[in-house]
Structure 1
Amino acid sequence: MKYDLRFPLLVTLLLVVGLMTVSTAALSPRVSEGIFTKQLLGVALAAAPIALLWWAGRDRIYRFAPHLFGLALLLQASTFVIGKEVNGQKNWIMLGPVQFQPLEITKLALILMLAVMLRSGFRGLPTYARALAVFAPAAALVVVQDFGGAMVLSVIFGVMLLAARIPWWHAVLAVLAVGVAVPTVLYPHLEPYQQKRLTIFLDPYKDPRGAGYQVIQSVIAVGSGGLEGKGYKQGSQSHNGFLPEAHTDFAVSTWLEEQGLVGGVILLLLYGGLLWGLAGMAAQSPRLQDQVLFAGVLGQIGFQVVENIGAALSVLPLTGITLPLISYGLSSLVSTLSTLAVAYVVYRDRYEGQI
């Protein structure tokens, strides 16, 4: 079957959940007016790149990868000069009335470029050299201003290398090296507020009015939802302004407060179905290059889902990573929909050009 209609159906259902969440979070006094309208605009804006990708097809998309990657690096570097500071991070660009985060373009560009560089699979040290030549500049430009974004790029990089079939013991050594380097090399060089954000989940009541406030309010919101939730637009934590970032970082807390455990299970099933669909697409694709690309998309979406929900439940560090298709944000929404569209188009054209 050339088209799998279950995939766009799952994406549509997640978009509905996201729009419901943003519409109720809009009632919070902490949130600026018009976010629901802007989120709807984001869905409409995504139609243009999706249509372009649908027309371009698999081969054109891969040929365009170096151009998109170069543009992403240029935009990422420009944030150091003309970037706008949002929530303590100067990683946004303003172009008239349009505000966007170059990181979202960088994620997709990295996936496409790595798929091109790793299309032949593992071929010894040159494989690592080519992959690092792509990953290193992107990560270096991001990690300075957005540690959470750098984490997403790192997961994409690692998962795509695994899909390129590097030796398993190389992967084990890499994980051990990262496990040693993060606490001994990277962590000490982070800003104090960044260090606190990464560790406060262990005991948020150490600083209940400061770094721990967000996590505490999130857990209260989730717990108050109970089994069936308080009902749509009936969430007291978000509507009364207790829950910070109810439309972005803690959008899942807003959803769980109103829809409860039942709504949480539904959300996890939708995400599980989406990730399973991506894995199925990879399994049905005969070319390694396409399999590597699907791995990157799966790694990005899967990691963001786990990290965002885990942070909202105070079981993982708070890194500011958005929940795909649910959290408010035009650049995030358009980028995620475009990334999923790339995967769907590559799946559609998986047999074209095959002998």
Structure 2
Amino acid sequence: MKALSGYFFTGFPGFICQELVRELLATKKDISDVFLLVLPTQKSMSLPVIQSYQRMYPQTAFHLIEGDITQPDLMMKDDDQQRVSERTHYVFHLAAIYDLAVKKEIAFEVNVNGTREVLRWLKSVPGLKRFMYFSTAYVAGRRDGKILERELVHKFPFKNHYEETKYLAEVLVEKEKINLPITIIRPGIVKGHSQTGETSKFDGPYMMLNFLYSLRFLPLIPHLGKGDAEFNVVPIDYIVKSTCFLTHSGRALGRTFHLTNPEPITIREAYRVLMDKLLKKEPKGSIPLPFAKTFLRVPTARKWLKVEREALDYFTWKGSFDCTEARTILGDAGIICPPFHLTADTMVKYYNEHRSDTMKHIHIS
């Protein structure tokens, strides 16, 4: 009989975390316990999700653990701490501030100090088989050219505090590879499910749809700048399938992987594809990016367009992610990232069906 395993997650009830738990439950038959660390303020919204898991997988015990990654021992109660420590074998650290416009102090507290506390706490988990750390491909900051999976430390600046603090956090995790069984995941820009389009928030690539929909009444809609930067978008199902496989792969131990699209398109081409799917129009002309950035300095403009000004910094970045090592391992398992144009229809269809849902849109300050 195969030994049972316990899984611990931070970042619940975030979208990626929810989808990752579902994928693990659907593919692994030896899960005895699922521990989900939630902030006390998010407990009520987490309960219905837990109940749905329990109905589908009655053989697994689900535990909603109140805590805070920025506090010692993750602010878990003593009895929770003991139970989690004794029964956990796999830990997934997804909790982070993902907002491009986040203030530095908040990002540093959650992304850097929070990761430091998780690493300290891991030393108290005697049966740990793997620590899966969710970073981002954009720890590359303003580096340009080809960026390899084995590369990390650099002296280039960053486009925002999100990138900078995720970089500093990954440096901490990288140093612990000699002490802990670690695999680092660096996703590209995550979008909804490739087949259903489902997503929890209209952030990231959906800001392009927000922008286009807000300007739908114009007879002509221009491009924003040259748009020759790489647009590296990956669907959530590729991320969770890849993570599940890498978690249990001996070949992934101690390594870092770009879960990025091996066939990225340019922002200009993505803009054209999304405009065609959403509005049945073609872009005409181009607005200089400095003009667009100036316009987005106005809070009213940002809120109307539902676009963060910081998002425009990605329109001129000249980096490209190499994902050879991830493709080599994942290809053996038949896990392949679909090209953007093949999933654009479902992305736009889901957006159209839910764009009036205020809960799907992120707060723009």
TM-score (ref. length: structure 2): 0.29
From the two aligned structures, give the one with the greater strand fraction. Answer: 2
By relative contact order (CA 8 Å, sep 6+), the higher-ranking structure is: 1
